[in-house]
A = this chain, B = another copy of it.
């Protein structure tokens, strides 16, 4: 089935202990799309400036991502620059230039409006809600968010939470959102806010899935060579949503499998700078790691 993603496209400049990548292809919708496209037909809605090169567009097209919703506006593409700590667990944002993304007003093309699976990448909750107004009758809608929106637009965010099926956030964000310092309590509180599913990303510590009927946790894939963690969370979401859209089933069994596919997809992303490793990866790479992950966690 088709999967609609709405989010940012960016030029990222990233510094890690392994080196520097300058103005490489980045953005939440980019990582998500490249990950999800290994499993399903992805429709992208995003915005770039006139400086966005064809080579970046080709990276997405080669994976089969439908770019009909990639708007080109006068001006420059969103740029982000960050620096990671030695253990890769912390990062400082060095510079952000929102440019054309600053007034992103997503327009879902007519041909995209029947998408059954929808992912609202990190953005202002009111902007995310405007996407929901434009899609017809999605089967499964998941949103990401961040500390900024929890702090500054909480009412809009709470209104959004009542309209979506799943929320995908990291452990700091869910604790901030719910005011609970224990992750299990935070997950249960978040379910009371509307979503039927809450996925929590814990980076190197894996991920957690909360629903009213079951909980599930999974360690991260054991990666020795973390070179650039940028985009890991969006790649996780892409693997998760892509797998569900690809098999078009929302059973408990598939939810757990989707968490594992998200985990594996994120592990590929972090092994190279930018989207390089993810763009090169094929479904067979993902399947091999999936089997390894199953062995790794099975008792």
Q: Which residues of chain A from 169 to 207 have any CB-CB distance to chain B below 8 Å in the complex?
A: 181-185, 188, 202, 204-206
Docked Cα-Cα span, A297 to B299, in Å, equals: 9
Determine whether the beta carbon of B206 is less than 8 Å from that of A219. yes
A217/B296 in contact, CB under 8 A: yes
Tell me if A183 and B204 are in contact (CB < 8 A).
yes
Question: A57 to B225, alpha carbons, bound, how many Å?
Answer: 49
- When all copies of this chain in the complex are counted, the total is 2
Q: A283 on the interface (CB 8 Å rule)?
A: no
Within 8 A of B (CB), among A99-134: none
A190 to chain B, nearest CB (A): 14
Residues of B within 8 A of A75 (CB): none
Contact status B294-A224, CB under 8 Å: no
State in angstroms the CA–CA spacing of A206 and B218 once bound together: 10
Contact B182 A216 (CB under 8 A): no
B-chain residues with CB within 8 Å of residue A217 when the two chains form the complex: 206, 219-220, 222, 296-297
B-side contacts of A181, CB under 8 Å: 86-88
Query: Knowing A86-B181, A205-B206, A206-B205 touch, does A297 contact B223 (C-beta < 8 A)?
Result: no
Ordered by A's residue number, 13 sampled pairs between the chains whose C-beta atoms are within 8 Å are A86-B181, A88-B182, A182-B226, A188-B224, A206-B206, A214-B295, A215-B296, A216-B296, A216-B297, A217-B219, A217-B296, A218-B299, A297-B297
A residues whose Cβ falls under 8 Å from a Cβ of B: 86-88, 181-185, 188, 202, 204-206, 208, 214-220, 222-226, 256-257, 259-260, 294-299
